[in-house]
A and B are shown apart, each in its own frame.
Chain A
């Protein structure tokens, strides 16, 4: 099957037709033939076929399309060739603008003696590309779609109540008076919980401010005692500082005292290690 489409601009009605090649047989799926365009209407059908038969034979040919809305046919054309010589029929049948949804699969059915050759069925159609204005912003009546709004789950409020309920609900055999008093207590408890949460939230912010002011006071007191060198507070200029030390004579003698200390420490270390293995 092959279909040809016409060029169009939005809001113009598009007219077109399909071509049904006989090499696919005499049964065809409309979904593969008609463009799947919302609001498409078939306006007429043109069919052509050649009958091969003897004049005296009875033969009836149906060109038809099933009706998707029921058990019948949305289109059914009957050609009675009984007692007639075989020939080629070329017929155009106007259709009262039936929407695409109704067009079921098509077929050519032969009843009686004879065959059909070189069949071709063409559907002429039209559609409005703006049948659904939301198809394109170019369509008249197009409405800019709203962005997705996420729903906030307020279930936690109910959960909070249920937690309190679960905490307070310790008996299933309360009297009505007790139930009333329990309800009051729950209400009071909820208020307390909310109040404590609010206080906690406020205290976090207030404590931060208090801590900041305490630190400033402590710093001032320490500076007043003059026990912190001023260089802690002064900054050193950046740059390259050259080496100022010099070595007299150009020779650095070995430090025998330090060497002795090092060897003694090594000896002591070895003794300690050996003591672990009872040597």
Chain B
């Protein structure tokens, strides 16, 4: 399943159905959907713009999905990430993982979004009453990604 970076919104049900692809071996589908919050760092967020680094971003997302497939026995995975101007409540990102059982699917899904947040080149800029500001990276995101350091990774 390819990774996609796009300005358009996505239909979660349609994307997950496509990911499953009628495969009768699939026994679990885990999904994460990230959306735009209306408040961040104690300021009301009226709009958000997201930018990426064409070429590198797609490559980084594909590498994260490959990494997940090497670490867990999953069937397939999908990442869709939006860029451009978004409003509160808009969907930003979809991570979908199919597997035989829920344990591996849940873990791989969480791993993919944790790595995406610290390794995939995307940047958020928020529009607030005080003007536009670039969102700062969070130490908690690095800590979340570091949790996976001990998990098996046969590729390395």
The answer to whether A and B assemble together is no
Give chain A's interface residues, CB within 8 Å of chain B: none
